Amino acid sequence: MALEGEYAQEKAGWVADQLAKIDETGTTASVDVAGMAVVLFTYRGPKTGKLYRRPLMRVEHDGAYAAVASKGGAPDNPVWYASLLANDEVEVQDGTTVVSGPVREIHGAEREEWWERAVAAYPPYAEYQEKTDRLIPVLLVEPGRA
């Protein structure tokens, strides 16, 4: 079921540019980060109730998608981290396919397995982890899982 409602205005210029290109072409394949694929996460802001869209690196395995809260290795999590976790259902657009599912933070061996996938998909994640004392959170969206 598609998320419905008012979309929040994107403030960051490069994100707004990516969103405009995805809207124009209908596919996430029209944008990338340093030549690497992105997917589009859509979620409801817990305070505003508005819909937010966030292009993130494509980390996919067996139909599940990871959202890596790296913030470039900053000492704090990105704002979207808490907002994603506050949602029961999140949409992910990969190319022209849109799926939805619950989101959860993963830990331990499961996180390590997904972290390896994340670094394979976007090698700078390894550098980001070295830059910060926090363990970079990994969230998982699993379409079809109740």
Tell me the H-state helices in 1-146: 13-25, 79-85, 108-121, 124-131
Q: How many CB atoms lie within 10 A of CB 131?
A: 12
pTM, to two decimals: 0.91
pLDDT in tens, 98-138: 999 999 999 999 999 999 999 999 999 999 999 999 999 99
Question: What are 146's two structure tokens?
Answer: 């109740």
pLDDT in tens, 68-102: 999 999 999 999 999 999 998 999 999 999 999 99
Q: Are 71 and 54 in contact (CB under 8 A)?
A: no
Q: Are 64 and 103 in contact (CB under 8 A)?
A: no
